[in-house]
Amino acid sequence: MRSVLLAIAIGLVGAAFIHIVIILALPMWTGKDAWTRVEALGATNRFYQLANEPNTTGLYNENPHVRSAVCRFDITDGPVRIIASGDVPAWTVSAYDVSSNETYSMNDRSAIGTGVHIALVTPAQMLQLRRFMPRSLERAVLVELTNPQGYLALRAVAPLPSQETAARAFLKNAVCANFKIDPA
């Protein structure tokens, strides 16, 4: 009797574990994960502004006071610079890896200066930059990432209708571009 109860308990625990694994892995298997959706937007190193209503991409602004843009990046061949500036009440930027794990985040309160100026680099590129820091990156926040591919979400807050234009301009003028390290 005892061995039957033990077998039932082990079976229930095993079934629960398998169900949890399947539920957590389902988005990756169906192609409905965030990485797949961002990848479908288009080319790397370019910001794409998200719509304000649900659409076929599955990427949109759910909060009416927040405007968002995403940029898929690949730092294999060189660092990627993220630059954005403008007169918005608040902004945030977050970097995610291909599994949609957040690897870095910053907001207007923790930034150097008033805008976004970030350089995403690999560990090897960070060593190069420590030997030769270009003047254009001296005030940038250097973010070392172990996975060379990922995406960024840049958000601008516009709580008042009068701030909507500034938030859209902030995202429209944002830059997500490769940067070459020139060894001296």
Contact 174, 47 (CB under 8 A): yes
| Cα–Cα dist 122/33, whole Å | 24
- Of all residues in the chain, the percent with pLDDT exceeding 90 is 35
Res 184: pLDDT: 53
Contact 63, 52 (CB under 8 A): no
pLDDT (average), residues 128-153: 89
Res 31: pLDDT: 59
Residue 125's nearest CA partner among 140, 109, 105 is 140
pLDDT (average), residues 129-152: 89
Contact 82, 116 (CB under 8 A): yes
Tell me 51's DSSP state. B
Q: Which residue type, as a one-letter code, is found at position 30?
A: T
Contact 81, 175 (CB under 8 A): yes
> pLDDT tens for residues 76-134?
988 999 999 888 888 999 999 998 899 999 988 887 777 899 999 999 999 988 888 88
| Cα–Cα dist 73/120, whole Å | 9
Considering the chain, what is the average pLDDT of its residues? 85
Question: Can you tell me whether residue 119 is helix, strand or coil?
Answer: strand
Lookup: tokens for 17:
């574990």
